[in-house]
Structure 1
């Protein structure tokens, strides 16, 4: 398969076809194009052109296109569709995707759209999903699945599976429930095919099955599915009834969104923003951490001002200030990044004390190696051994403290229920800059005997 590439020439051709209302040519052009690629095209069109193309194409394709569009583009297009047209798109979607789109609609038209959905069971399932918090397994799951009763025979089971599978895009697993709908296990296709047609399912199914509760956080669902290499996982309510399933495509979206959020936090962006957002939105997201950097810089300048006499007698200390600050920030970010990654992957072992001790030993070793190189350089450069020793010993202390701070803060934030990714950005860098400069000049003053 040749990867799709949207060129300026192709986009111009599509725009011209839309403006000239060349419907047949557009149908022919889009017939073999994947819905994700059509979404890429629509994201580049103006609102009128995008709406025209959505209305022109069959709902069987455009419904999937809508799920791939940028949120602002989708909102604009939906605003140009009637309630009946929106309902037609939702009927082609799985319940989880349909519920996501319904949740984005203005409240005043939600009921009208739902009433236009001709498949009433589909509509009920969508409404049911809207009851769940979007940041939960219930808000992530779809209602489409294949389930069988433990009291059925294999023959009855096969017949029912055929009927249910008509409404399921992909059958990842077959779940077994009792008369109350309680999840009991899963059914192996191999066991089903080799069992007697008269055998009851309770003698065939596998009782061991991984599942999550409707209130589970999406991040925890992602960890479970990743750990056990699951393509889908069933979701149960508070009393264990099977109410839906979460598939791997939904989890990939969760992982991507979490990675984007963590990356922005690490870069010092406090809100979820995109490059195309307004200047005001981007400013609100960036300014808080830039302000923190300003405060940190002012604090560092004030600290240096307190050691003015030391700097005046040993001017070389001033020239190494950027190096000390940079090393403190770099070591802190490295330490916090490792801890945040361990917390995200749920593979961090041992107590906080053990982690701090390990990081302190690691930082001390790195500090000794770097300090030795710095000692030789400074000694040969200036020929002043006491000053070179003071700078090198300060570097060791700064690196050790930065490693401890970079380890402790994300662990502390995690215990407090705060996203530890915030600790990998300007927060750690700024705090370690201040601590580093304070420790640097304090040790230098102590070792050089300046009153």
Structure 2
């Protein structure tokens, strides 16, 4: 049954060797079953209660052994069960286990028929795998973690894994350098603009990376979330972050250059860039997911290139308007 599910889904990680009984099963009968056949189960952290296959409740072993022997399991079980669909991504199962403090997660079909259980060891493996992949994707390496982490992996293979994203970053850096070169007249007129360029670019990149990381996690763990509500929340957060950064940099720019108008250029550029990057990074990840691409691929050099180009354009455009440079 398990082989029918796609790799990295909850159904592919479950085991069929779990403990399940009908609602009328007594606590005494359950204890006898455990004593006789405990070794046949891969996971016995919980007892799952099924009615004609449908998952209707769950009880921990602690709850079972604290109950009276003649009590039916329906009186011991909890009706609200934390479960995961068989076709759901494996990362959601690990998230549910962490969120609710569970050692195993039941896997059901669309009719809540219990198909299997993801045991504790599998949940730990999923968590490690997904965390490692997210970390590697964040720096532009899209290879399996085990391959990257293995000391036996050849240097040539590691070069192939890391070089493409670096070359892409090189292309992006060249484009940024060419774009800055187009504003040579502005930089000659106000050399202090060059001093604040790294500050604005860095903060915009940082906010974009934060927003992207958070929405990628949301997509993986809560796939049915409201996009409109999330974007609205991100817009408010970006607005607050942009305002805070702008207010912080304003007195610094005023002190260095000595003019209020220059400080307004730096602050306004940072304010707009932070808001823009938070929304662009968020929506780009959502759009990729809707197009059935891995939103994690947006991270790294690609997002950095887009962020740098747009931030620089905003910075110099505002400088031209406010400083009246021709």
Which residue is 1:37 aligned to?
Answer: none
CA contact (8 A) 2:28 2:69 kept: no
CA contact (8 A) 1:307 1:441 kept: yes
For residue 223 of structure 1, the aligned residue among 82, 86, 95 is 95
Q: Does 1:397 align with 2:272?
A: yes
Return closer, same or farther for 1:141/1:304 CA change in 2, 3 Å cut-off: same
Which residue is 2:181 aligned to?
Answer: 305
* Structure 1 residue 305: Cα displacement: 3.0
Return closer, same or farther for 1:136/1:374 CA change in 2, 3 Å cut-off: same
* Structure 1 residue 342: Cα displacement: 4.9
Q: Does 1:269 align with 2:144?
A: no
Q: How does 1:380-419 map to 2 (within 5 A)?
A: 380=258, 386-419=261-294
Q: How does 1:141-290 map to 2 (within 5 A)?
A: 141-150=14-23, 156-168=29-41, 170-178=43-51, 180-186=52-58, 190=63, 193-196=67-70, 207-237=79-109, 240-272=112-144, 273-275=147-149, 276=151, 277-290=153-166
For residue 246 of structure 2, the aligned residue among 357, 361, 368 is 368
- The alignment covers a number of residue pairs equal to 318
Return closer, same or farther for 1:167/1:441 CA change in 2, 3 Å cut-off: same
Q: How does 1:412-427 map to 2 (within 5 A)?
A: 412-427=287-302
* Structure 1 residue 395: Cα displacement: 3.5
When the two chains are superposed, the root-mean-square deviation of aligned CA atoms in Å is 3.3
Provide Cα deviations, 1:180-200, integer angstroms capped at 9, x if missing partner. Answer: 54444335665675143xx76
The structure that has the greater radius of gyration is: 1
* Structure 1 residue 329: Cα displacement: 1.9
Which consecutive residues of structure 1, in runs of 5 or more, have no partner in the other structure? 1-127
Task: Determine the C-alpha separation between the residues in 2 that align with 1:241 and 1:436.
Answer: 52
* Structure 1 residue 352: Cα displacement: 4.0
Return closer, same or farther for 1:337/1:241 CA change in 2, 3 Å cut-off: closer
TM-score, scaled relative to structure 2: 0.80
CA contact (8 A) 1:266 1:425 kept: yes
Return closer, same or farther for 1:251/1:310 CA change in 2, 3 Å cut-off: same
Task: Determine the C-alpha separation between the residues in 1 that align with 2:241 and 2:79.
Answer: 49
What secondary structure, in the 3-state scheme, does the structure 1 residue paired with 2:40 have? coil
